[in-house]
Amino acid sequence: MERLLTSFFNRPTLQVSQDLLGKLFIYRDHQGVIMETEAYTALEDPACHAYRGPTPRNAPMFGDPGHIYVYLIYGMYHCMNFVTEPKEIAAAVLIRGLYLLKPSLTYLNGPGKLCRELQIHRTQSGASLTESDDLAVYDIGLKPEYNTTLRIGLTQGKDLPWRFIVKTPLQTVQMAQLFLTQN
DNA sequence: ACCCCGATCGTA
DNA sequence: ACGATCGGGGTT
């Protein structure tokens, strides 16, 4: 089982968004398989939080790839992104769906639900995915098929087909479980 | 200092 | 289809 390094995240955001599907995400005592992502890239994307330049909130997006960017939305929910591309390109991947394996088998569909369940808070924004002991992403050899659709809930940049979602979540999770029992 | 709005979710 | 709820960003 191979941990994803900075070199994985330091690539075009659309590519990283697609490649993250089927990867194993670890946060403290939680582990799950990534099922749904959305790409946000500053330059061509008015929906990206970095579109209008750096602020204290979006600072992690302007930092090195392989870190998380967490923000509060609608005053009640948190959303988690993985920062991508070189430092000068402020872009990230929103993690929208995670099939939890541990501590329970639960499909967390939706970025708000995901952060609520894992207790990921904006105070963790900027944490490293490649250097931390309780935050990491692993390749478990899965390349699931996925659908490509428009992104959810946007008023700007709603025409960009930058949402990627695994076609068969249950089957993918079963393959992940098989891999983990054999390794 | 103030105001408006939002990368959501659950219920109707 | 809609309301809850509050930090961020832009404007005064």
Q: Which nucleotides of B are covered by protein (CB under 7 A)?
A: 5-10
- Confidence band, pLDDT 50/70/90 cuts, at residue A44: confident
Half-sphere exposure in the Cβ direction for A69 (13 Å, CA): 27
pLDDT of residue A61: 96
pLDDT in the model for residue A183: 87
Whether residue A121 is predicted with pLDDT greater than 90 in this model: the reply is: yes
**pLDDT for the residue numbered A172:** 98
Stated in angstroms, how far is A74 CA from B3 C1'?
A: 16
* pLDDT tens column, A18-43: 999 999 999 999 999 999 999 999 88
- Nucleotides of chain C touched by protein CB (<7 A): 4-10
Q: What's the rounded Cα separation, in Å, for the pair A87 and A90?
A: 7
- Residue A13 has a pLDDT of 97
CA of A109 to C1' of B11 (A): 17
